[in-house]
Amino acid sequence: MLIAPNHEPAEFPRKMATMCGISGVVQETGQVGPVLYDSLKRLEYRGYDSVGEASIVDGRLLVKKEKGKIDEVERELRISDLPGLVGIGHTRWATHGAPSRENAHPQTDCNQTVAVVHNGIIENYMEIKQELEAKGHRFKSRTDTEIVAHLVEENLKQAPGLVEAVRQTSKRLTGAYALALISVTEPDKIVCVRRESPLVIGAGINANYLASDIPAFLPRTKSVILLEDDEMAVLTHNRVRVMKVGSGEEVLREPMVVEWGVETATKGGYPHFMMKEIYEQPLTVRNALRTSPMYIDLMASAVTRAKRIFMLACGTSYHACLAATYAFANLAKVEVTPVVASEFIESYGALIDGDTVVLTVSQSGETADTLTAVRSAKDRGATILGVTNVMGSTLTRLSDVYVGQNSGPEMGVAATKTFTAQYSVLLKIAVALARKGGTLSRARMEELERGFEELPKWISAALSNGGGIVKRIVERNADRFSFCFLGRGISVATALEGRLKLLELSYLPAIAYPAGESKHGFISVVDDGYPVLFIAPHDEAYSKIIGNVMEMKARHAHVISIIEEDDTQVANLSDETILIPKGIPSLLTPIVFVLPLQLFAYYMAVRKGYNPDFPRNLAKSVTVH
């Protein structure tokens, strides 16, 4: 029994990342159109750049899909009128292939016999695609997803049926995916599969449903079957069978009853989108680290050819760039100048030419200050590289090469999973640069690769250990009128990001400083109980930050330190501490040490009665100068 969520949602399975919404229904009577349309509307927060549905009528596949938001596509194609008793649907958040009719889902095989919808990233799609093309398959889209339809088509040639063909196909795929398929060969069923990406089944009366998230079918049934990783399910109108992908053996899985309303369910059981997006980071960071190696390599090549390299962005994206400058210098011995976009042309306009690379980072891909700077650099002959969360955004159109940060829609105005995803992608570019330049020892490269593998676990641990502790620290410090965030080295970027989160959500005047610089001015502000938050991982700067903590303690500051779990020195000097798993390579620390700062800002906003999702005076995408 899933109970009503509280502020620290321990019950709800945390394996979820919002990116694309899939849904499906197989029913005894009626038309699937209205059911699919309604479910996709409830999944629209997961992606809204293109939409599509497929069903089977009289042995033929019917597909309706187009670029655009659900209501726009509905006006054009009347997707709510789709006939048939079995159908699948999809609302997209592009990762592979910009939004277009061809790249919209469902994707189909050569002969329009199989249709598939997908949420996630198939890592080995390129090699499978080449294999299938060699066998004569013709591809219509630039998506990773389309290979699934063709591979099932190929497997149907020798498998006993659709279920087995899908099982064999799934065993070939690597990456994250939730898939739902229908085929004219067996028009009474939907076959679906899950690995990492969320997929839930709704058990109804004379109808069964599937979706990326419970809200999609909640108005029709509160009886939910959760699929585990590497499990598949076969839905007919009166039965749901669950089985293991590996062995094919059946699994008995009792439905659970959900007590939530749709609103709560859309937030995944969390009280706010921001909280949900904070807890999505174990998977969104993993997805970011999966960004296409081919494009990462293309970007690294462009940087190696450049004489001058700038990293350009605003707000949180700028802080991800700031952290990345340490990685580029430290790993690849490449000098990069991080610049706030609104200052770029005035500060560096005269230096930009054909030997300049401008690596631009923007969640929305639509921030006016960033785009203006990019256009001006482009006019001066610079090469534009883009990192964004929105495929098809203006930044992608202005970029010579771009990659996705793959963190899915971010509904909360305050960027959270964006920071960790963007920095992860930029780190991957730095590693590719180091490989090209031979600037990294094998041991260091392996330490980093191990770190990338461990990151989701460290993030989960920091969130589960930190949530309650941070909330109590906020309770104890809620009446303070200002806060200061101090860090050294790469943690300066983490401190700046922590400060931005607090001031934009709690409206408190917060300060952030390189800790070493604090004694050249800020320290005059410190008096009895002034709250100073130290970001103090056990890295190259640790020995120096101890001195800075002592300086603040000497002026009776109230010291709150974010430190590694086995830390003693800074811990003994601090009034309150937040512990982070130990052994995180220093260049990965911004991704984990920022988490308690995101939670700190969130709980302070809630404690002050503000809505953390929609802070005053701010917009998710600032499209004005």
Catalytic entry in 140, 378, 553, 620: 620
How many residues make contact with ligand AGP (CB under 6 A)?
Answer: 15
Cα separation, 344 vs 373, whole angstroms: 6
d(CA 255, CA 124): 33
Buried b (16+ CB within 10 A) or exposed e, 310-330: bbbbbbbbbbbbbbbbbbbeb
Cβ nearer to ligand AGP, comparing 131 with 366: 366
Closest listed residue to residue 16, CA positions, set 258, 279, 404, 224 = 279
DSSP letter (8 states) at residue 502: H
Residue 148: its H or E element: helix 146-155
Give the separation between CA 37 and CA 41, rounded to whole angstroms: 6
Annotation says 457 is catalytic: no
Q: How far apart are CA 210 and CA 89, in angstroms?
A: 10
Residue 103 beta carbon to ligand AGP: minimum distance, rounded to whole angstroms: 22
Using CA atoms, how far residue 264 sits from 6, 134, 258, 415, in Å, is 11, 48, 11, 21
Nearer to ligand AGP, 55 or 367 (CB): 367
Q: Residue 508 Cβ, how far from ligand AGP at the closest point, in Å?
A: 15
Q: How far is the CB of 363 from ligand AGP (least distance, A)?
A: 3
498 sits in which H/E element: helix 491-506
Q: Which is nearer to ligand AGP, 413 or 594 (CB)?
A: 413
Using CB under 6 A, which residues numbered 174 to 233 contact ligand AGP?
A: none
E strand or H helix at 129: helix 125-134
Closest distance of CB 405 from ligand AGP, Å: 9
| Site membership for ligand AGP, residue 370 (CB under 6 A) | yes
Radius of gyration (Cα) for the chain, nearest Å? 25
CA distance 12 to 5: 8
Q: Is 597 in the site for ligand AGP (CB under 6 A)?
A: no
Question: Judged by CB under 6 A, does residue 340 bind ligand AGP?
Answer: no
Answer yes or no whether residue 396 interacts with ligand AGP by CB under 6 A: no
Judged by CB, which is closer to ligand AGP: 2, or 314? 314
- 620 catalytic? Reply is yes
* Residue 481 near residue 576 (C-beta atoms within 8 A): no
> Does residue 387 touch ligand AGP according to CB under 6 A?
no
d(CA 139, CA 96): 14
Among 80, 212, 367, 394, binds ligand AGP (CB under 6 A): 367
**143 scored as a contact of ligand AGP (CB under 6 A):** no
Q: Which residue stretch of 299-307, 331-339, 412-420, 429-437 sits at the interface with ligand AGP (rule: CB under 6 A)?
A: 412-420
- Interface of this chain with ligand AGP, residues 278 to 337, rule: CB under 6 A: 314-317
**Among the listed residues 469, 546, 534, the one whose alpha carbon sits nearest the alpha carbon of residue 499:** 534
Is 622 one of the binding residues for ligand AGP (CB under 6 A)? Answer: yes
Q: How far is the CB of 42 from ligand AGP (least distance, A)?
A: 25
Q: Is 621 in the site for ligand AGP (CB under 6 A)?
A: yes
Closer by beta carbon to ligand AGP, 86 or else 415: 415
3-state DSSP assignment of residue 530: coil
Residue 8: which of 464, 320, 418 has the closest Cα?
464
The least CB distance from residue 64 to ligand AGP, in Å, is 31
- Lay out the sheet containing 250-251: strands in order across: 107-108, 114-122, 175-183, 190-195, 231-236, 239-244, 250-251
Q: Which of 95, 212, 266, 363 binds ligand AGP (CB under 6 A)?
A: 363
Nearer to ligand AGP (CB atom), residue 414 or residue 570: 414
Residue 333's φ and ψ, nearest 5 degrees, are: 55, 35
- Burial status of residue 441 (CB atoms within 10 A of its CB: 0-12, 13-18, 19 or more): exposed
Distance separating alpha carbons of residues 87 and 32, to the nearest angstrom: 6
Positions in 466-525 near ligand AGP (CB under 6 A): 504
Whether 218 contacts 270, CB under 8 Å:
no
Per annotation, catalytic residue among 20, 192, 321, 484: 20
Shortest CB 483 distance to ligand AGP, Å: 17
Site map 536..575 versus ligand AGP, x via CB under 6 A = ----------------------------------------
Residue nearest to ligand AGP (CB): 315
Q: At 118, which helix (H) or strand (E)? A: strand 114-122
Is residue 424 close enough to count as binding ligand AGP by CB under 6 A? no
Reduced to 3 states, what is the DSSP secondary structure of residue 570? Answer: helix
Q: Would you count residue 414 as binding ligand AGP (CB under 6 A)?
A: yes
Nearer Cβ to ligand AGP (414/496): 414
Which range touches ligand AGP (CB under 6 A), out of 301-309, 361-369, 377-385, 470-478? 361-369
Report yes or no: 508 and 459 within 8 Å, Cβ to Cβ: no
What residues are paired with 600 via a beta bridge? none
The reply on whether position 415 binds ligand AGP by CB under 6 A is yes
Give the interface with ligand AGP as residue ranges (CB under 6 A): 314-317, 362-364, 367, 370, 413-415, 504, 621-622
Catalytic residue IDs: 20, 620
